[in-house]
Structure formats: C-alpha cells, structure tokens
Amino acid sequence: MEPVILAKGAAGKCFSDLVKACEDHFNWYYPECVNTNDHKTVMCPPVFPFGYVAPTGEASGAMELSKVEEDTIRGDTAELRIFHLLEKFGEKTKQPMFVLTQLNLSEFLKNVLQQNLPADHPVLKNNFNGEIDFVIIHRKIGVILMEVKSNFEFDKRPQSKARKQLDKVEEIILSLIKADDEPEIGVAVYKVIAMPNVSEQCRGNSNFIGLREFDVRSDGNFSDWWLSKFCEIDFDIRKQQKLQNIISIFVGQRSEVNSVVLSRVFKRINTQNFLQKSYKKGVKGAAADRYEVVSKPAEDSEQAILSRQFLFLNPEQLRIWNSGSHTIFNGSSGSGKTILLQFRALRCAKAAQQKVVVVVPMPLIALYKDFFSQNGISLEIMEVLSPVDFFNGSYFESDATSRFHFFADELQAFQTDIPDLSTRLEKVMASFVESECYCWIAYDYMQRNENATSLDVTGGLSSGAKLQNEARNLCKTYGFHHASCLKTVVRSTLEIYDYVQGFVKNSLEDMLKKALTSEHIDEKTKRTFIAFVERYDISNYLGHRVCGPSVAVFEHSELGDIVRIIASEISKWTTEDALNRVAILVTSQFLKENLSQLMTMEKIPVCDVGQQTNGVVLDYGYKAHSYEWPVVIAVSCTQDQCLSSNYIMLTRAVTRLVVIKSIYSR
C-alpha cells in the first residue's frame, strides 16, 4: 500500500513514516532535548503567536488602545497571560517540559494516526479541524491539555465547548500513546479549562481541572495551583520513550518550517494586516494629521507585490507623505522609504501626466521599471535612470528640472559612482527652488559606503553621518524640508529585529572604541562619528509582532562547509522552481567567485542582484539596496569587522536569516 503522504526532511530527505520524519526534525532542532529529563522549559514557539496584536504607542505610530479595542482582543490577552505564567514558572522552577501554543489539529496528525492505527479506528472519524490553546508535555508529569476562555463571567456555553475540544484532543493523544498496541503504560493526560478573568472558584468535575482568576493573580498563586494539581513522578524507560515520541510528533510537526510556512509570514509582513486596526481608529478622530489610504493603482490583484504593500500610512510616514513637494527624508531599513517614494512618483505620473525622472542604483532599475509598467505608466512619462546616466546626461546638464518631477532613492549609494555628489545634488535642488514639481530624495544614513576611505576603522559609517549633515545643510539653504528620521520598522519579524538591534548596538560600540583610539583620525572626524553613534542610539521601533523562524549563526572557515549550510537552507526554505527567494550576500573581502564555482558544482544556480532568473542571488551586500528576499544568508569575514561593517538589509521582509562568520577571504 502506498504511503498516505511523504514528508520532506531537513536535508532534502523524504520520509514515508511521518513519525520518523517528526523525530528527524525534532532531533535536528533540539539535539539537547533528545531522550533526557534534564533540560529547561521550551516554549514552542518562543514568542506567543498572536493572530492579531493591536500595536500601541510610538513603536507603531498607533494611539493608545481604548477599552473597546482591548475587549476585541481579550481572547489573545487571556492566553498571553497564561503563556507568560507558564514561561516564568518553567524557567524559575526548571520544569523539563515543552509548551506548545495554538496547536492546530491538522491533517498531518490525522495522517500520522492513519499510518499507525487500523483503518476502522474510531479516532479517525474525528474532525481534525480546530486547535488547542496549549499542549504541555512534561517529562515527569505527562501531557497537560489546556483550553483558555476569556469570558469575564462564568458561562456554561464556552465551558461546554472547551470540554468537547479537550476530549477530542485527549482521544488523539491516547491513540498516539497506544498506537503500537502496547498495554496501558500509565502516561497521564490532564485536561484544564482556564478562565483567567472569572473570579469565582471552579465548579467541580473530576475529569477537568479549573484555572481561574484567583490562581493566576500572581506568580505565587500559579505555583501553588500547579503543585496542587500535578504530581511529578520518575517515569521508567518505556514511559520516557513514549513521551519522547509524543514530543517529537507535536514539536517536530511545529518545527517543520518550509517554504509554505515562510510564505505565510512573508505575506503578513507585505500586506501589513496587523496595522489595519490602528488606521481605522486614527481615521475616526484625527483632525490635524488625517490618515490617508494609499490608493492601489493596479486593478489586477495579481499585479506587482509592491503595489499591495501599503494599506495605509502610520503617522511617521504620513508626515512625509504630506510634507510638500520638496522633501529629503531618511530612515531605518524596512521603515517604508522606498514605498513612499514609489507611490508619490506613481501619483505624479498618473495625476499630471508630466514627465517623471527616477534615479536609483543600477541593481534597482529593473525593479522600478517593473513596478511602474505594471501600474500602467509608459516610458514616455516615466524614466528610470542610474546615477551616472542622470548626472552625466541631458536632464542634469540642460537645467530642465523645472519641467519634470524628480525622485531619487538610496542616495547614499550614489557616492560610489559620483564622487562630487554634494555639489551635483546642490545644483539639482537649486533648480527646483522655484518649481512646483516634486523633488523627493530618500537615503539611509546607516548604510555603509563600501568604497569609503575617510574612516576605515568605522567601516565607512562616517560617510553616512557626513551625508546626513550635508543633506540637512542643503535643505536649509534651498528651503527644502528635511523630515525626521523614520524609526518604525514595519517590515521585519520579531526575531530578525531583536537580533539586528543587539548586533548593531554591539558593533557600533566596538567601532566607536576603535575610532577614538585611532591615531589616523582627526578630532573633527571623531566628533562627527561620536555624534552619529549617539544620534542612532538603537532607537528604532518594531511596529508589530509578527513571529518568524529564528536567526541561525554559524562559524566556518572552509568554503565547503559554507556551501553545505547554504544547500541545507535552500532545501528547507524553498523549492527548485523558486530559488530566487534566497539571497547569499557577502562582504567585499570575501571571494565571491570561489563560492559561486562551488555552488555551481553542487548544481545550485546562482545570479547577481537584479537578474530576473530562477537562481539563488549571490552578490555583495552593498548592492542589495531596497531588494527583499524571504531568506537571507549573510557571509562575512572575521577581519571584516563582522557583519555590521557592510550594509546587509537585515530588517526588511526577511523571515529567515542565517549568519555565517568565516576567516576565509581573498
């Protein structure tokens, strides 16, 4: 008989036995937790997976939540309270358990049972839809199932619903425990109905355990409740193995992250559904700064992804959108600079039918042209040029700027090809002083100029500080508006954001120490760099809580090891027909050609940034301006002052980041 389903393993292996597939995933992700009672509490996932979190405060540009909004998300709030209690209790008392949240009763579980139970087994007739709020698998207690109901007063209906759900999951758990036809081995399954908002004591039922407001009021109350309800015992080898089997199935299933899962996270970031509620609230009462929906000019829902990225603007972005026709702005990677620029240029082209000139680094030209053509803008109206073509061409030399709208993105990247950028930019701005046409320029002052030589010890970051000062001075001279820095990151997962913020902070502090002790840097440059570091002060904010896969960090010296890691990541995160979802970005001292040859030998097709082919992008990080990939593998040399000395877009819509530190270089 053919297997019901094949599961793809971490290294591209296929399993017909789904239990073995789960064990393989579990062993790969949690090698320290295999067949042992001596491990810490594992929260899976480590961050509570909200279906929706209303963003609050400056971090999202949203207003403070009203009571009405709190009520609408109180289900998540109740579960979050339990999640935090379990996490704190587990860490403090060193409970050897796995805590899984919002576990779907999926077809996967049904297929596992079909492979291990008779075809007429009653559990297979169950409907495998729905989810269980918490599944806790404890090495010395057994399995604890928990459903959370958020009512403020006791109600029989949600309690009855919780009982039915718990009974269904209990039947599945017991079927998995007994699937090998062994006699009863005594692994307990507990069922908990949690009502953390209900103050009255639980009404007795011998088959269910109650968790009420009194029990979760404090950490101490929760500890007392736990100790009174569950008894720890030392399981024998058979019971330990059975629990390990259950853990592997549930945790292994959750850990099997593939391109489908990655696509869901990527889509959530792109559509920004998590910010819709803040927009609706802002529309109701905002008088001065009206929230504005950015229209979607593309009629076809399958048009370019960039035309669907912004549903509305948060206050930071709105201030730029309404800032006037002559504006220069900067901001963190992933804060929305490129989208603001593109949509404003698109609106100019559609509304006035005037000439629009967009200047972007060479790798971005195809991206911009695709965006405008898919939104119905002809090349007669819109022209996308590289910095060299613009500043050395007829538009710049003929002083015809008053007759077209001008937009420039990633200005900091122009410094490589245009040494006298400040002088040329001054000429452009001067020509727009009396013009009603738009002149918008965006840059990222944190990006490293790869070819900067003024301050090597800082990895070229001083050029970003210098550019920012020059832009501010030019704005004062010619009456342009220099907008406040965009600091809300709206295109990143929580895991990537946390990693990058810590990484950048440590790197900046390290570079600052080296700059201050260097004998080759004058005092003025030192002061500039100090001001730059202090002004940055890691003051970015994450405007949401979209969870994604964790960041992986490796240290390898051999190219062969690096290629094996790359091959494994490609196998896990994408398919053969979507290799362009992955980018390998290297620093300038890394010999890209050798890595390319080895990848080609491993039959991994590669291409450069901007090429429209089905291949893994392999290029230098400083060419990755405004490009986005779900999977980014960043390779740097140890003598390259680690990763932060190069601009690698870690905080964009990246949902899997792999950092490889290597001593291999040119």
DSSP assignments along 457-525, one per residue: GGTTHHHHHHHHHHHHHHHHHHT-EEPPPB-EE-SS-HHHHHHHHHHHHHHHHHHHHHHHH-TTS-HHH
From 354, 319, 323, select the one nearest 335 (Cα to Cα). Answer: 319
Strand (E) or helix (H) holding 173? helix 156-177
Q: Give pLDDT, residue 53.
A: 40
Nearest by Cα to 254 from 547, 568, 629? 547
| pLDDT score of 49 | 61
Would you say 604 and 469 are in contact if contact means Cβ atoms under 8 Å apart? no
The CA radius of gyration of the chain, in Å to the nearest whole number, is 28
d(CA 498, CA 651): 10
391-440 pLDDT tens trace = 988 777 665 555 789 999 999 888 888 888 889 999 999 989 888 899 99
The predicted-structure confidence for 376-397, as pLDDT tens digits, reads as follows 888 788 999 999 999 988 777 6
Phi, psi angle pair for 195, to nearest 5°: -130, 80
In angstroms, the CA 9 to CA 252 distance is 11
The 3-class secondary structure across 327-338, one letter per residue, is EEEEECCCCCHH
Give the C-alpha separation, 427 to 423, whole Å. 7
Residue 582 identity (one-letter amino acid): V
Q: Which residue has the tokens 């759900």?
A: 165
Under DSSP, the state recorded for 626 is T
pLDDT digits (tens, 9 = 90+) for 75-132: 567 888 888 899 899 999 999 999 998 888 877 788 888 887 888 888 888 777 788 9
Task: Name 619's Cβ contacts closer than 8 Å, sequence gap at least 6.
Answer: 583, 584, 585, 586, 592, 608, 609
pLDDT in tens, 181-240: 455 557 889 999 999 888 877 666 678 999 988 888 888 999 999 999 999 988 888 888
The answer to whether residues 628 and 467 touch, using CB atoms and an 8 Å cutoff, is no
Determine contact, residues 137/109, Cβ cutoff 8 Å: no
What is the distance between the alpha carbons of residues 548 and 268, in angstroms, rounded to a whole number?
Answer: 10
* Angle subtended by helix axes 219-229 and 74-93, to nearest 10: 70
Predicted local confidence at residue 71, as pLDDT: 43
pLDDT of residue 60: 41
Which residues have CB under 8 Å from 550's CB, separation 6+?
46, 495
Residues of the chain below pLDDT 50:
1-4, 51-73, 181, 286-289, 291, 295-309, 451-460, 639-647
pLDDT at 28: 76
State the first-to-last Cα distance of the chain, in angstroms, to the nearest integer: 55
Gap between the Cα atoms of 229 and 146, Å rounded: 13
Q: Nearest to residue 52, comparing CAs of 65, 39, 37, 40?
A: 65
Residue type, 400: A
> Three-state SS for 44?
strand
The Cα 291–Cα 127 span in angstroms is 44
